Amino acid sequence: MTPTGLAPIWVLTGDRVLLDTRSTVVLAWLATLGCAPSISDEGDGAGAASAGTTGTTGTTGTTGSDGTTGDGNDTGEVTPGPEQSFRLYINEWMASNSDQAVDPDDPDATPDWVELHNPSEFDIDLTGWTVTDDLGDVRKHTLADITLSAGGFLVLLADDQTGGIHLPFKLSAEGDAFGLYDPDGVPADRVEFTNLDDNQVAGRYPDDGPLVLLSMPTPGATNDTAEAMER
Interface contacts to Ca ion, rule CB under 5 A? 92, 95-96, 112, 115, 170-171, 218, 223
CB of 43 or CB of 151, closer to Ca ion: 151
Q: How far is the CB of 58 from Ca ion (least distance, A)?
A: 22
Q: Is the dihedral of CA 123, 9, 87, 93 positive or negative?
A: positive
Distance between CA atoms of residues 231 and 220, nearest Å: 24
Distance between CA atoms of residues 228 and 108, nearest Å: 30
Q: How far is the CB of 170 from Ca ion (least distance, A)?
A: 5
CB of 85 or CB of 96, closer to Ca ion: 96
Paired sense of beta strands 201-204 and 141-142, if any: unpaired
CB of 26 or CB of 216, closer to Ca ion: 216
Distance between CA atoms of residues 52 and 40, nearest Å: 9
Q: How far is the CB of 172 from Ca ion (least distance, A)?
A: 6
CB of 35 or CB of 90, closer to Ca ion: 90
Report the residue number whose CB is nearest to Ca ion: 218
Q: How far is the CB of 63 from Ca ion (least distance, A)?
A: 25
HSE, side-chain direction, 13 A CA sphere, residue 150? 10
